């Protein structure tokens, strides 16, 4: 089970631009607090707005701009090979993201990898978004998998908290933009420095 942004795709540039446009449309002039926003990645956008004390009205222009700029999002090096290798080895894959489900599926479809995943779940499709365990539990239910045979790979402390609350293996991905010290302080069950290391963690051979 994968988080999306910062694990499968490098979308921070698009997020920054979308957030900047949304902030200036709704709030007005001034420096958009993207640095603070980025500390909450992994959470559902409305939850981040509540935490930051910003208007929920930012969501509409943020989503609009995210769709408009989606063609700029790229997968991290090694991720396409990783997905093919895991599927070839018989692993069943899902995405559990802080994004909305429709936006996540649209993005993965545009990148040509949506069919690699049996299920792609967004935070709008469960009662409680990360760090609650709902999205991980729902993905396991759809996959027919138990906690002892499931791992969640994320790049945010909220991903690890959600995984731990669901009783699954919590794996930190360090190749994105997140602060490694924050992830390591959360004491994940395993740490990956590049996507290919997940194959060895799953018991397969090395993948560069």
Whether 138 has a pLDDT exceeding 50, the answer reads yes
Q: Grade residue 204 by pLDDT with cuts at 50, 70 and 90.
A: low
pLDDT single digits (tens) 83-132: 999 999 999 999 999 999 999 999 999 999 999 999 999 999 999 999 99
Q: Grade residue 191 by pLDDT with cuts at 50, 70 and 90.
A: very high
The average pLDDT across 154-182 equals 94
Say how far apart CA 34 and CA 19 lie, in whole Å: 7
Q: Is 10 helix (H, G, I), strand (E, B) or coil?
A: strand
Which one of 5, 47, 155, 159 is the catalytic residue? 5
Q: Which of 152, 177, 180, 159 is nearest to 15 (CA)?
A: 177
Pairing of β 94-97 and β 190-192: unpaired
For residue 205, the model assigns a pLDDT of: 53
pLDDT single digits (tens) 1-53: 999 999 999 999 999 999 999 999 999 999 999 999 998 988 999 999 999 99
Residue 5 annotated to the active site: yes
User: What pairs with residue 9 in β-bridges?
Assistant: 5, 75
98 neighbors 123 (Cβ within 8 angstroms): yes
Q: Grade residue 207 by pLDDT with cuts at 50, 70 and 90.
A: very low
Which one of 3, 134, 155, 159 is the catalytic residue? 3
Q: Which of 45, 169, 149, 43 is nearest to 96 (CA)?
A: 43
Residue 47 annotated to the active site: no
Say how far apart CA 109 and CA 172 lie, in whole Å: 25
Say how far apart CA 107 and CA 138 lie, in whole Å: 21
């Amino acid at each position: 089970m994968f988080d999306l942004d910062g694990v499968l795709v490098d979308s921070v540039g698009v997020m920054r631009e979308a957030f900047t446009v949304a902030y200036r449309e709704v709030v007005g002039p001034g420096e958009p607090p993207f640095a603070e926003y980025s500390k909450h990645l992994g959470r559902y956008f409305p939850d981040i707005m509540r935490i930051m004390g910003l208007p929920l009205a930012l969501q509409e222009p943020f989503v609009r701009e995210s769709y408009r700029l989606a063609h700029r999002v790229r997968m991290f090096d090694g991720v396409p090979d990783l997905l093919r290798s895991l599927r070839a080895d018989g692993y069943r894959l899902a995405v559990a993201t802080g994004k909305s489900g429709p936006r996540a599926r649209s993005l993965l479809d545009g990148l040509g990898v949506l069919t690699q995943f049996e299920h792609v779940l967004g935070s709008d499709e469960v009662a409680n978004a990360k760090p609650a365990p709902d999205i991980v539990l729902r993905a396991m239910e759809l996959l027919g998998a138990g906690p002892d045979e499931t791992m969640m790979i994320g790049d945010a402390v909220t991903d690890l908290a959600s995984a731990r609350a669901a009783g699954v293996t919590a794996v930190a991905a360090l190749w994105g933009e997140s602060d490694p010290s924050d992830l390591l302080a959360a004491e994940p069950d395993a740490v990956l420095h590049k996507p290919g290391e997940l194959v060895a963690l799953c018991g397969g051979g090395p993948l560069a």
